[in-house]
Structure 1
């Protein structure tokens, strides 16, 4: 009988612990697309809302820490713009906010800019530091696509800027 009680307690403990274990890290995805023919550069940052909302306390201190507050969303957009830097072949690319899509637990914030047109892009330098001091395990995967070729780098808190090379 004691064995069954122990087993039942163990199973109950595992069931209760499962939601905690299901989401151990904090991560996001950034997709950069460069069209060398037109020079158009698009950047899309994607996150889970449950990772972003705790960061709103520091990102948007004067707003409610919820994505239901337009002021918090605007502060998030500004934070991402300010803490993301992009260079193509050594030239800084200025980005403008294009769209924010809040769909359930998925957040996508898009930016657009212009790079050189008609030239082959050889190097792309990315530097980002989202939500410093909020999630010490934050990991941001960055996929960089130039002329149909994709390279991937990963950023963690304190990561230095990274440069990827395309072509020869």
Structure 2
């Protein structure tokens, strides 16, 4: 009897797992700053199935698919316009470097530089895909000299500062 109960519980759990596997919408932004050279790299990572529902609002003239180069270009513009980073209060301009589309993975990379070499604080502000996913979360990891600080943005979040 116990064996049957355990087997039934395992089957129910196995059937529920795919439904629970992706309940929210989110992405990851990684900011790496090299204090020696001043190089700043920014990588925004998403699941394509989270990005494509946003394409009608951010790329209205394109097909709502990452197969459309115009939609990808508008996505790159959207991310660039809705992301800001400052090092010790000085804004850092980042420019699009490249975009990698691989299966369900979307990675949009930007690069810039800072003249600050003794970095004490990094301020990040972003608001991707407004009005598309009410539960959108963007984790941001800021990494300097092997030390990583993490903040999480949700719709309506204010700018956040991490200290080093």
Q: 1:25 & 1:114 partners in 2: Cα distance?
A: 33
Cα deviation 1:37-68 (Å, max 9, x = unaligned): 00000000000000000000101011000000
| Structure 1 position 116, deviation (Å) | 1.2
Aligned to 1:35: 34
Aligned to 1:127: 125
Alignment of 1:12-51 (within 5 A): 15=15, 19-51=18-50
Alignment of 1:99-118 (within 5 A): 99-116=98-115
Aligned to 2:5: none
Q: 2:17 & 2:29 partners in 1: Cα distance?
A: 28
Give me the CA root mean square deviation. 1.5
Unaligned runs of 5+ in 2: 1-10
Aligned residue pairs total: 153
TM-score (normalizing by structure 1): 0.87
Q: 1:94 & 1:85 partners in 2: Cα distance?
A: 8
Alignment of 1:61-76 (within 5 A): 61-76=60-75
| Structure 1 position 114, deviation (Å) | 0.8
Specify the structure having the higher radius of gyration (Cα).
1
Q: 1:21 & 1:147 partners in 2: Cα distance?
A: 37
TM-score (normalizing by structure 2): 0.89
Q: 2:104 & 2:24 partners in 1: Cα distance?
A: 16
1:144 to 2:142 alignment:
yes
Aligned to 1:6: none
Q: 1:23 & 1:165 partners in 2: Cα distance?
A: 32
Alignment of 1:75-86 (within 5 A): 75-86=74-85
Unaligned runs of 5+ in 1: 1-10
Where in structure 1 do 4 or more consecutive aligned residues deviate above 3 Å?
17-21
Q: 2:78 & 2:21 partners in 1: Cα distance?
A: 28
